[in-house]
Structure 1
């Protein structure tokens, strides 16, 4: 039998007609294209959008330097931001459904901290690694960072999953997630004490978060891993919908809960871990984006949520990247500061909203 909360979600889903949802989805696609072009056009050197389009189409721009700026620096950064926003949003959505917790996310539940620990172990202890974190690494080292960050993220997420079966209170689970995050941070602090100054500086800069450090060579690793993980999440839509109804109901539908849970953990860990490896621990996007899409489409159906979260996540990541460059001339602000300013109002709204009505399946 459907719970009252799930019925409430389905009633909201029916309030928007397919035509309205199509219009909203199309608007998001247009917004994504516009944000992508703006991210390419604006920066320390402003380039007209029509010139940006000409460069992307392979035509000669008015100034030859504009082509170098776009193709060598801004286009890899914009692609990285698009992938990062989509990956973190979907990872947060998966964890919110898995834990039945509206405040779950890679950062809040310590997943990013686990991924950071994996990267720290590679960066701060590998004797063969150069002082610069990603600039001089080859493809093999890129895969090493991806594997290390994903394993760290999976370790913390697996621990949270075990704890979630014993703890019913949302706040208790969140506190335990924060404690796991503090524990991993403590281990990183110990590693920092035994590392060289160059590696410490590299790691600290990495923790600020940035989309600009990823090169075309590293995108060869990043793009297929993220795209395959996102496709896996799309294929999990029906399973995630079934989990909203509870494990017993999911089993009655023929779903193998243990296998499904492992698949979700793997997908969410790779999405969060890979982005953390290449871009640093990006806060709040994974928590905020799913709620924005639920409110926009008024649905809990993952067949609609996952594509919308992918697009909305990419838009917000591109906007955050824009703001990190435009506030101060000739200076790039820490990306985590911008994402916190975006995500904090959304998380605050979720907490206040839950005080007035229980709007998330339990």
Structure 2
């Protein structure tokens, strides 16, 4: 049994490696595998290839991988905590909170006055948008954490999170109604999602946040396994429910909020990948599900990035549209296949 699990994880690693290389190969400019190998090994120097590879395609592929890993693990924890098979990173309004933060920048500071203010701070607009997105997610997260200390029922907390998300979306909609058309257009472009707008320095910040979130997620594997058997059982085993719930929400918020701030709202990955991981690994043990979610999430996002490039053309699809096209059928398939969806968690 142990060898089988290891073999399944290794097969996911192989799939990830292949998709990563394919993602580097695909783009508006043709680059052969030998050119990529020459650039990486240093045996074949070509300034144009190096710039395209290391300044554009490699950061984009790494960003896609980090987004897939973060959203998938965040979705897995939300589904376990709330015992809801359709829960995802946006279930607590975290994504909506990040959207509110970004909207406050694009719709309030998108004009000439706002650009002057941003320049006065010595910051680029992209950094302001990222910071606003993370702060928006943290603001909603803080409210949820405060509520979680007063509410002991996970279902009630789930409903409150959904209502928080609806409230923030309502604020954004009202804001859009009173905003100029060009400001609305910029915000709508952000909502499509993108993994190609992260600079090299921003990538380090993104990678640090995601890696910290993933490390803490692994540390939460044991409490998550206890939650599978019910809160009463977990409590009888000595688990502090309140602190564990806060820890899970905090780490999920860090992962989902960071990705939303840097890449925009990317849907369906966090909902679909945990189900794929359970089906592939044939287990509910989070010590195996978390690494498998990371590997499958990275692979799915790399595949979505390849598809979004529309190989053979110069056009690029919004990444959010591609994740929906792939994620929605997966969720429908899982629901149809499972006789009792709730028991699959």
TM bucket (normalised to shorter chain) is 0.7 to 0.9
| Corresponding residue of 1:148 | 136
Per the TM alignment, residue 184 of structure 1 is displaced from its structure 2 partner at its CA by 2.1
Structure 1 runs not aligned, ≥5 long: 1-16
1:112-191 → structure 2 map (5 Å cutoff): 112-126=95-109, 127=114, 128-129=117-118, 136-138=125-127, 142-152=130-140, 155=143, 165=153, 167=155, 180-191=164-175
| Corresponding residue of 1:229 | 213
With structure 1 as the length reference, what TM-score do the two structures score?
0.84
Indicate if the aligned counterparts of 1:109 and 1:160 stay in contact, CA closer than 8 A. Answer: no
Per the TM alignment, residue 144 of structure 1 is displaced from its structure 2 partner at its CA by 4.5
Q: Distance in 2 between matches of 1:156 and 1:207?
A: 23
Q: Distance in 2 between matches of 1:357 and 1:185?
A: 29
Indicate if the aligned counterparts of 1:154 and 1:265 stay in contact, CA closer than 8 A. Answer: no
Per the TM alignment, residue 341 of structure 1 is displaced from its structure 2 partner at its CA by 1.0
The total of aligned residue pairs comes to: 336
With structure 2 as the length reference, what TM-score do the two structures score?
0.88
| Corresponding residue of 1:304 | 288
Q: Distance in 1 between matches of 2:41 and 2:154?
A: 56
| Corresponding residue of 2:41 | 57
Corresponding position: 1:211 with 2:211: no
Q: Distance in 1 between matches of 2:280 and 2:20?
A: 21
Q: Distance in 2 between matches of 1:272 and 1:161?
A: 21
| Corresponding residue of 1:90 | 73
Indicate if the aligned counterparts of 1:112 and 1:153 stay in contact, CA closer than 8 A. Answer: no
Q: Distance in 2 between matches of 1:69 and 1:99?
A: 43
1:308-319 → structure 2 map (5 Å cutoff): 308-319=292-303
Residue 20 to residue 355, structure 1, CA distance change in 2 (3 Å): closer
Q: Distance in 1 between matches of 2:135 and 2:41?
A: 35
1:244-259 → structure 2 map (5 Å cutoff): 244-259=228-243
Structure 2 runs not aligned, ≥5 long: none
**Equivalent of 1:78 in 61, 69, 81:** 61
Indicate if the aligned counterparts of 2:87 and 2:271 stay in contact, CA closer than 8 A. Answer: yes
